[in-house]
């Protein structure tokens, strides 16, 4: 395994939504810097692929199947991460969905509820159990993943999604203030368009997407999952010990 630094050697990390995209990139990045990693999510096969990628590079990883939107699952995922990794020092709450597309007045109630249950309540439930462990065991760091949609900007047809992510931002900053005195340091990363399936539009080809990004993003391209992972590791690292409740926007200048 190629390691750029050893700053996370000896640490244990839980990444939710770790089966693909940003979550997988975050898990790989932590493992490459020496961490033991638990990846959690709802799809066993995707999680197994992430674990295999880490193990192929000589790292240590385990897969935990469950949904953070379920209170019992959220508690179990933390408990099993601690048991299988020998502790927990850092958590990254990346699990989320895109849905409820269309004007706000036309969003189906079930689609709205599913967004809130996963993106907001799921983040809260995950943090609730992560914080309980961390504050009882010397503290640690949590990094949540939101979006530039929400607090920073809105787009037509994505109002429900923006609301769920704006709420994650408010939750993160509130939790950061509540728990820093207990040694739990919490921050947020808010990506803009990133080269994952969630940033593509229905029926859009890779070439179409690249052309759209040139017009939509001042820097002229979508972000890479590795760039988001680098920001997450920075906020989780000792170098960010004075950073509390920050919202780091990575959107190529869209909301600058």
The kind and range of the H/E element at 12 are strand 12-16
| Catalytic, out of 46, 151, 161, 232 | 161
* Distance of alpha carbon 199 from alpha carbon 4, whole angstroms: 29
Closest to 135 (Cα-Cα) out of 91, 179, 69, 189: 179
The closest alpha carbon to 119, from 151, 156, 167, 157, belongs to 167
227 is written with which tokens? 């760039």
Q: How far apart are CA 146 and CA 246, in angstroms?
A: 12
161 is catalytic: yes
Is the Cα dihedral 88, 92, 93, 94 positive or negative? negative
Contacts of 44 (CB under 8 A, 6+ apart): 63, 65
DSSP conformation letters of 161-224: HHHHHHHHHHHHHHHHHHHGGGTEEEEEEEE-SBSSGGGSPTT--HHHHHHHHHHHSTTSSPBP
Residues acting as catalytic residues: 161
């Amino acid at each position: 395994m190629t390691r750029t630094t050893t700053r996370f050697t000896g640490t244990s990390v839980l990444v939710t939504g770790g089966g693909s995209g940003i979550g997988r990139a975050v898990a790989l990045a932590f493992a490459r810097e020496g961490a033991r990693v638990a990846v959690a999510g709802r799809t066993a096969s995707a999680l197994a692929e992430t674990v295999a990628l880490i193990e192929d590079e000589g790292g240590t990883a385990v897969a935990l199947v469950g949904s953070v939107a379920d209170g019992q699952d959220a508690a179990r995922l933390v408990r099993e991460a601690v048991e299988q990794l020998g502790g927990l020092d850092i958590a990254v709450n990346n699990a989320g969905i895109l849905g409820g597309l269309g004007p706000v007045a036309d969003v189906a109630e079930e689609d709205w509820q599913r967004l809130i249950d996963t993106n907001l309540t799921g983040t809260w439930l995950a943090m609730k159990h992560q914080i309980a462990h961390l504050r009882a065991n010397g503290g640690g760091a949590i990094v949540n993943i939101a979006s530039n949609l929400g607090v920073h900007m809105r787009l037509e047809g994505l109002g429900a999604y923006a609301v769920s992510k704006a709420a994650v931002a408010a939750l993160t900053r509130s939790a950061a203030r509540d728990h820093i005195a207990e040694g739990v340091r919490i921050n947020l990363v808010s990506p803009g368009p990133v080269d994952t399936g969630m940033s593509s539009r229905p029926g859009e080809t890779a070439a179409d997407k690249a052309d759209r990004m040139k017009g939509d993003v001042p820097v002229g391209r979508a972000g890479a999952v590795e760039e988001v992972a680098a920001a997450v590791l920075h906020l989780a690292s000792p170098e960010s010990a004075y950073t509390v409740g920050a919202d780091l926007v990575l959107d190529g200048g869209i909301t600058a």
